Structure formats: C-alpha cells, structure tokens
C-alpha cells in the first residue's frame, strides 16, 4: 500500500491526474455544447460552405415567404432517413423563414394509402394551401436534377443542378396566388422557340405560355395578357399587323425580340415600331468599348433600369450577340412615351456590308400609352379619346417592348455563361407587363465539381504552392528535434 500511495505522490502522477481531469472537463464541455447546439434551429446549425451556395435563399423567396398571409403545408412523401440530406436540410431552412409554412413527413412504406390520397408517387413533395384550395407537387428529381445528356452519351447520370429554392418558391407562389398570367407566343413567321431554361422560368413564375398563329386565329384572344414575338424570320401580314395594332390600342402588351433580319426585310414590323417611336438601324452593332474579349459583336449593353427592371440584378452583366440597333424617334401620337433601358456605348458602330456608322444605339426600349375604354370604338383616334375622357375614368396602359437582340435568351449564351444576368433581365421585362406581379423565378444552382486551377504559373506561384508549405514542415521538424535533444 505504501508503494501504491507513493506512486500517486510523484510529480509525474500528479501531472497525469491533472491532465486526465482537464481532459474529462473538456470532453464534458464538448458534450454539453453539442447538446445545446443540437437544439438550435437549422439555419444556425448548418453553415453552407459549398462553392455554389445550394442552401442560400435569395431575397425574392424571403420576401414572398415574409408576406404570406395564408398557411402553406409542405407534405413530404418519403422515408425521411433515406432522403438526400441536402433536401432535408433545405426544407428545414426554408420552412423556418415563415410561420405560415409547415413541413410534415409521411412514410409511404408505413402509410401506402397516402400515395393514393395525394395522387402522386413516392419521393414527392406536395405543397398545398387550404385557403385557396390549390395543390401542386414537386418531385425530388426536379430538385436534384441529373445531367441526362451525359447519361445518353456515357450511360451514367451525374448530378447537374440543385433547384430546391426555385421549385419550392414557385410552388408556394402558385398555391397562394389566385391569378395566372396568360402569355401567347406567335408562330408562323419562323420564330425561335423558347429554351428549356426560359420555359422553366416562365412556369416557375406562374405564366401560362401558349402558341398563337395569327393568320389562323385572325384576332388576339381576350385572355392574352402578353403577346410575345420571338425573333421572327418573316414579316407580319397586313391583317396580322392590324390585329396587333388594335390589341395595343385597347391596352394590350406586346414584346418583340428581333432576330437576324434587318428592318428592310420586316417592313410591317418596322412600321409598327416606328409608330411607337422606335426605328431600326440596318446592320449589326459592334462596340469596341463594351465587348467580350475583343469580339466586337458580342457586347455588354449599358443598362438604365427602373426599380422593377433592376430586381435581382446586381452585376449588370448582360451579354448579347449580333444585335441590331434602334434609334428613338417621334411617335405617331403624343400620348406615347418611349424610353430606352438598354443601349450601346457612344463608340459603337452599325456595320453593314457598305458602311460603318458610329454612334450610341438603343438595344432595348419600351413604349407606353395610357388607354381609355373609349379607344376601343375608334382605335385611330386614341389621342382625342384620351383627352376627352374624364380624368376619373378607368384607365390602363398599353405596353410595347422591343429588344433588338433575340440572343438575350439564346441558350448558347445563357447556358454557357451561367453567371450572366440575361434570364433575370428577360423575366423582369416580361413581368413588367403584369400589374401587381413580381418576378419570382429563381434559377437552379450548379452542382458541378469546381476545380482549383493554376493560371500563369511563375516563380512566385511555385513559392506559394510549394515553398511555403515546405518551409513550415522544415521549421516544425527543427523545433521538434531541438526539444527532443533538450
């Protein structure tokens, strides 16, 4: 016993006991802190360190959720423990942004009747609002999107995008909104179709897009809230031009994106534009001052945006290619106001086979005109009708928007340069045609692996990459060796 007692009285034993005691206290503190942190909300516990910020929620969603007045239920039909952690984490973060949003999980293995009740399949999110009675679904495959092109070529599907915010915000907006905007896209003139990226954004914003052949229909439907003419290769006929004019005079909204045709090849469309204070310039616009890497025909326009058009736009990096130019002229009626929101620099050129004319050219403009109910009876006398109508009469505005480069939404630009704000710009312009509507379409975040690469390798780069780590290792070894000899 004496030897044992003496063993515990040595300096080494006392230091060892002290170390064990300190270790025990530290372990206890760590355990308690873990228990405390585990009770914190998800938004504080889970920090997004991914390069593409898949869990980051934009101000658009925060505003929508913050203004909710109706309760929204997000029902997840899946086995929670087997669900992708990214989806579980995002649902927790998303629901914490509003007290009107609740998430409930239903295990379809334990409750198979739930699939029949909701009329959907496993691994699906059902978003519903009792107040409006509307319901929609979002599949897990729509949130974590696979690259099917890679699957077709290689036989292996890789994860390409995470669209949790875009899909859920669109679903919440749909079930809580009473209205759906109707957009008609003209056909029959060689128009460009909308890319899948733009079509998805239109759907997310609750816009229903349908095709309209004016030659066959003869008139524009009464439920049309926006007529979209996307890069036509052929001109409108006289009857079609008259139908569009009548639609505008009655308070309609028209959006025209010009393609590769010069104004001389589209005389009726050019005449319509001129009535609204916009005249096309022949040739393509080259801008040495605001071009993409020395390619003068790929240019970054100068933006002059209203508060509504600037929503979600921070860098103002919008790229267009092979754009035609516009100049603003006197409109056919004094009641028409035409404003440019996108233009080249003053050093740009309108280039044709024969000439290069320097100047500042408009690349996007909008013409508005107040319209009274009386103008339906005599479309050509809009000016007098507006003046003679009582000031208290119900008025609305017609809106004619022209973008001189259909490449604004060309997938070869929007899908290749994902950091550009082309699609945000386009959706803001579309949304401006609807009263009381904001652009809530949110693009998915890339899940592609990002690699760190070394650009312009030199002596300094080699020193930073290899020299400093080697110096630290040598210093550490020297310090260790000295202490061991001491």
Show pLDDT as tens, one digit a residue, over the chain (486 residues).
665 556 556 666 666 666 777 788 888 888 888 777 666 655 555 555 555 678 889 888 999 999 999 999 999 999 999 999 999 999 999 999 999 999 999 999 999 999 999 999 999 999 999 999 999 999 999 999 887 555 555 666 678 889 999 999 989 998 998 778 999 999 999 999 999 989 988 988 889 999 999 999 989 999 999 999 999 999 999 999 999 999 999 999 999 999 888 777 899 999 999 999 999 998 999 999 999 999 999 999 999 998 888 888 888 899 999 999 999 999 999 999 999 999 999 999 999 988 999 999 999 999 999 987 655 444 444 444 444 434 433 458 999 999 999 999 999 998 888 789 999 999 999 999 998 777 777 888 888 765 554 444 556 666 777 788 888 889 888 888 887 776
Rounded CA separation 404/326 (Å): 7
Sheet architecture: strand order including 291-292? 291-292, 295-299, 320-321
Query: How many residues can be counted in the chain?
Result: 486
Cβ burial of 336 (10 Å; 0-12, 13-18, 19+) is buried
- What does the pLDDT read at residue 24? 83
Backbone torsions φ then ψ of 341, nearest 5 degrees: -125, -5
The set of residues, in sequence order, having a beta carbon less than 8 Å from that of 168 and lying 6+ positions away, is: 61, 74, 94, 125, 127, 138
- What does the pLDDT read at residue 366? 97
Instruction: Please name the residue that has the structure tokens 């650009």.
Output: 455
């Amino acid at each position: 016993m004496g030897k044992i007692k003496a063993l515990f009285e040595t300096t080494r034993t006392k230091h060892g006991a002290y170390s064990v005691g300190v270790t025990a206290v530290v372990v206890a503190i760590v355990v308690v802190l873990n228990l405390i942190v585990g009770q914190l909300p998800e938004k504080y516990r889970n920090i997004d360190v991914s390069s593409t910020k898949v869990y980051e929620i934009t101000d658009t969603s925060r505003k929508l959720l913050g203004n909710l007045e109706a309760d929204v239920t997000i029902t997840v039909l899946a086995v929670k423990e087997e669900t992708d952690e990214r989806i579980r984490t995002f649902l927790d973060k998303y629901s914490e942004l509003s007290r009107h949003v609740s998430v409930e999980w239903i295990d379809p293995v334990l409750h198979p009747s739930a699939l029949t009740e909701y009329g959907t399949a496993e691994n699906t999110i059902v978003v519903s609002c009792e107040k409006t009675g509307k319901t929609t679904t979002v599949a897990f495959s729509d949130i974590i999107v696979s690259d099917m092109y890679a699957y077709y070529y290689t036989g292996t599907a890789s994860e390409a995008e995470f669209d949790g915010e875009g899909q859920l915000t669109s679903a919440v907006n749909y079930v809580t909104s009473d209205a759906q905007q109707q957009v008609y896209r003209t056909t029959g003139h060689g128009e460009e179709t909308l890319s899948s990226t733009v079509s998805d954004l239109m759907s997310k914003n609750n816009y229903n897009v349908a095709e309209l052949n004016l030659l066959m229909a003869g008139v524009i439907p009464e439920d049309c809230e926006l007529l979209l003419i996307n890069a036509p290769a052929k001109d409108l006929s006289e009857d079609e031009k008259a139908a569009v004019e009548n639609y505008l005079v009655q308070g309609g909204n028209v959006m025209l994106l010009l393609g590769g045709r010069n104004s001389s090849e589209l005389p009726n469309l050019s005449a319509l534009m001129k009535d609204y204070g916009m005249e096309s310039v022949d040739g393509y616009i080259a801008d040495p001052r605001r071009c993409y890497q020395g390619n003068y025909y790929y240019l970054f326009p100068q933006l002059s945006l209203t508060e509504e058009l600037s929503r979600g736009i921070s860098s103002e990096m919008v790229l267009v290619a092979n754009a035609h130019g516009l100049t603003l002229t006197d409109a056919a009626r004094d009641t028409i106001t035409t404003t440019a929101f996108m233009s080249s620099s003053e050093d740009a050129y309108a280039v044709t086979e024969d000439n290069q004319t320097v100047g500042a050219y408009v690349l996007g403009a909008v013409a508005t005109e107040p319209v009274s109910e009386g103008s339906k009876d005599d479309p050509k006398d809009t000016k007098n009708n507006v003046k003679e109508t009582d000031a208290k009469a119900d008025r609305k505005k017609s809106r004619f928007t022209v973008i001189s480069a259909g490449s604004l939404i060309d997938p070869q630009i929007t899908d290749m340069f994902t950091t550009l704000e082309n699609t945000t710009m386009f959706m803001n312009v579309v949304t401006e045609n609807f009263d009381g509507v904001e652009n809530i379409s949110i693009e998915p975040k890339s899940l592609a692996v990002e690699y760190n690469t070394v650009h312009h390798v030199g002596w300094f780069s080699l020193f930073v990459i290899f020299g400093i780590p080697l110096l630290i290792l040598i210093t550490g070894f020297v310090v260790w060796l000295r202490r061991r000899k001491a």
